[in-house]
Chains A and B, each alone.
Chain A
Amino acid sequence: MNDLVKRGAADIAREVRAKRISAAEVTEAALARVDEVDGRLGCYLTRLHDLARQCARRVDERVAAGDTLPLAGVPLAVKDNMCLTGTRTTAASKILENWIAPYTATAVQRMLDAGAVPIGKANLDEFAMGSSCENSALGVTRNPYDLKRVPGGSSGGSAAAVAAFEAAVGLGSDTGGSIREPAAFCNVVGFKPTYGRVSRYGLIAFASSLDQIGPLARTVEDAALAYDAMAGHDPMDSTSIDRAVEPAAASLREDLKGLRVGIVKEFVTAKLGPEIDALYKRAYQELADLGAELVEISLPTADYGLATYYLIAPAECSSNLARFDGVRYGLRVDGADVGAMYEQTRAGGFGPEVKRRILIGTYALSSGYYDAYYVKAQKARTMFAQDFRKAFERCDLIAAPAASSPAFEFDSKSDPYSMYMMDYYTIPMSLAGLPALSVPCGYAGEPALPMGLQLAAPLFEEAKLLGAAHAYERATGYAAKAAPAV
């Protein structure tokens, strides 16, 4: 392995800008790494060798011309639910298996404009619906720390690619935990900004009111750089926030003095077993050791998160995924008439988890059930926002687990609900639209597998959140205490 691939985004960009290395060299190293290990890991559904070389050349030209690119030459994994012109964009679904996007997602474009080089389109759970990547219809991604285990999901391909040095930064999308949980499983940093902070234009929708793009990286600083490049208003997305972005990379700090960190009373980690309980107690103590004042806060609605989420997200997805109908693009399975064509196309094109969520969402919106299910969930959502507002009167940040367990083995969660439980700690933040991240916080289990500490902040306080996570990361350095198995 060329040591170039181990370098972080900040380091690479600095060196490329200084012309000590070229984007082309970095790109070749990354492509070689992909060719070396991706056959075993399966992070990418599509490798973009030609495009990557072309982009790298362009970056070197721009650097030569004096452009100060914040992500100059940084190898990038793009989750395959984001459009990139001329590349196959599948959402890991048979229904889009051969679709070539004719336009580029705003977030991806901003990363490229900042100098990042797209290495490949990363695997995910089909349409981002899942917590293990096992729902991908197009490939298996393995956890770089233990190939028998899942990388987490839905942004599992991006998380695994970053962990295994197949990219320095990955783009993920998080609807109920889809960046934070795979980040925890793969020992990397995964950051979901405030809902609306990063444009969703070009992100294949799962649940519109929850979906949010964010970075995965091996350090908080790298995640902050990527966030700074992507964040900000986009006139193509009505829900994108028109509000100044405080640069996060400039707000990184070394201690937590003066910060109050809330520990959620209802998140009882003892339920997760003595080892994990101890791990999180230690993580909270590490925050205190850095100068934070720990305060107990209450989220009375905590136990209603899954129920609320599993009504709202499927309802929105049932409508968002209607467009996959075999008329304009993607898979068509013929039928005697247009109705039969729809039904056969969607039966053949969607996997079981996607069908399950479309059906539950259709049901929740259907005549006679709308008020009892959909409206009820929307009211519960209001309560989540209120609870968090109240909690943040007493603290600046909230600390919590990022997932209920370390990475599990393939096919070990046969009941859909037990899989849904993986997101128990991440869903409440999603429902409230809060910025939240996962940062490595140690290892648990046999073999010892990475775990993530989740930190969350009030709306729009990304800079404070990343700043604090950086202090924790620098003081503890957990990510560096284990190396991937490949």
Chain B
Amino acid sequence: MASEKIDVRYVAKLARIALSEDEVERFEKQLGDLLGHVDVLSELETAAVPATAQVVESKNVERADEAGPSLDRETILSMAPQRQGAFFRVPKIIAEP
């Protein structure tokens, strides 16, 4: 995984963070440097090593299908940056997912 130049604009688009020109330049350098450090991992022989997502082994943690109380609507709507009646309101949506 020889480090290549990161397309910071594309990554920022995926992450939904607007970047100024300055930030694009700065992050491009910083992320590039960091990836340079991270490249040491290529020295590790991992072909036969399984990936670990959870280091403390566990499985089948489930809850019984029982309904419980929900939050009070006013409490949650009072957090909303913008509400309309009983709904959360957002600016116009350009496209479906």
User: Which residues from chain A sit less than 8 Å from chain B, CB to CB?
Assistant: 99-100, 102-103, 194-196, 209, 235, 238-239, 241-242, 301, 303-304, 306-308, 310-311, 318, 322, 325-332, 334-344, 346-347, 350, 355-356, 358-360, 362-363, 366, 369, 372-373, 375-383, 385, 415-417, 431-433, 459
The interface residues of chain A lying within 8 Å CB-to-CB of B51 are 375, 378-379, 381-382
The interface residues of chain B lying within 8 Å CB-to-CB of A372 are 1
The interface residues of chain B lying within 8 Å CB-to-CB of A381 are 51-52, 55
Inter-subunit contact A304/B52 (CB<8 Å): no
> Does chain A have a CB within 8 A of B15?
yes
> Does chain A have a CB within 8 A of B49?
yes
Shortest C-beta distance, B54 to chain A (Å), equals 6
Inter-subunit contact A346/B16 (CB<8 Å): yes
Number of A-B contacts defined by CB within 8 Å: 171
Inter-subunit contact A304/B55 (CB<8 Å): no
Contacts A338-B92, A339-B94, A379-B51 known; list 14 others, CB within 8 Å.
Answer: A99-B79, A102-B76, A238-B58, A327-B81, A344-B18, A347-B18, A347-B19, A359-B12, A359-B31, A360-B31, A363-B6, A378-B52, A379-B49, A381-B51
The interface residues of chain B lying within 8 Å CB-to-CB of A242 are 61
Pick the contact of A241: B12, B15, B53, B56 (CB < 8 A).
B56
Pick the contact of A346: B11, B15, B88 (CB < 8 A).
B15
Give the total of B residues in contact with A, Cβ under 8 Å.
51
> Does chain A have a CB within 8 A of B14?
yes
Pick the contact of A378: B30, B37, B53 (CB < 8 A).
B53
Shortest C-beta distance, B46 to chain A (Å), equals 4
Inter-subunit contact B55/A363 (CB<8 Å): no
Pick the contact of A336: B16, B40, B91 (CB < 8 A).
B91
Inter-subunit contact A346/B17 (CB<8 Å): yes
The interface residues of chain A lying within 8 Å CB-to-CB of B17 are 343, 346-347, 350, 355, 358-359
Pick the contact of A311: B18, B38, B43, B50 (CB < 8 A).
B38
Inter-subunit contact B41/A342 (CB<8 Å): no
Inter-subunit contact A318/B52 (CB<8 Å): no
The interface residues of chain B lying within 8 Å CB-to-CB of A194 are 56
Nearest CB in chain B to that of A329: its residue: B79
Inter-subunit contact A382/B16 (CB<8 Å): no
> Does chain A have a CB within 8 A of B86?
no
The interface residues of chain A lying within 8 Å CB-to-CB of B12 are 359
The interface residues of chain B lying within 8 Å CB-to-CB of A376 are 1, 41-42, 44, 46
Shortest C-beta distance, A254 to chain B (Å), equals 31
Instruction: Name the 5 nearest CB pairs between A and B, nearest first.
Output: A332-B81, A378-B51, A433-B55, A329-B79, A343-B18
User: Which residues from chain B sit less than 8 Å from chain A, CB to CB?
Assistant: 1, 6, 8, 11-12, 14-19, 23, 27, 30-31, 33-35, 37-44, 46, 49-56, 58, 61, 63, 71, 75-76, 79-82, 88, 90-94
The interface residues of chain A lying within 8 Å CB-to-CB of B6 are 363
Q: What CA separation (Å) do A99 and B80 show in the bound complex?
A: 10
Q: What CA separation (Å) do A326 and B82 show in the bound complex?
A: 9
Nearest CB in chain B to that of A459: its residue: B56
Pick the contact of A380: B1, B16, B39, B41 (CB < 8 A).
B41
Shortest C-beta distance, A206 to chain B (Å), equals 16
- If A301-B44, A307-B41, A329-B80 touch, whether A359 touches B55 (CB-CB below 8 Å) is no
Inter-subunit contact B31/A363 (CB<8 Å): yes
Q: What CA separation (Å) do A397 and B35 show in the bound complex?
A: 33
Highest count of chain A CB atoms <10 Å: which of B16, B43, B94: B16
Q: What CA separation (Å) do A185 and B80 show in the bound complex?
A: 39
Inter-subunit contact A325/B46 (CB<8 Å): no
Shortest C-beta distance, A320 to chain B (Å), equals 12
Nearest CB in chain B to that of A362: its residue: B15
- If A346-B17, A382-B52, A433-B55 touch, whether A356 touches B40 (CB-CB below 8 Å) is no
Inter-subunit contact B18/A346 (CB<8 Å): yes
The interface residues of chain A lying within 8 Å CB-to-CB of B43 are 304
Nearest CB in chain B to that of A330: its residue: B81
Inter-subunit contact A196/B80 (CB<8 Å): no
Highest count of chain B CB atoms <10 Å: which of A196, A303, A343: A343
Shortest C-beta distance, A301 to chain B (Å), equals 7
Inter-subunit contact B34/A417 (CB<8 Å): yes
- If A379-B49, A382-B51 touch, whether A366 touches B37 (CB-CB below 8 Å) is no
Highest count of chain B CB atoms <10 Å: which of A196, A311, A344, A359: A359
The interface residues of chain A lying within 8 Å CB-to-CB of B30 are 356, 416
- If A239-B54, A329-B79 touch, whether A337 touches B92 (CB-CB below 8 Å) is yes
Q: What CA separation (Å) do A305 and B36 show in the bound complex?
A: 15
Q: What CA separation (Å) do A433 and B54 show in the bound complex?
A: 9
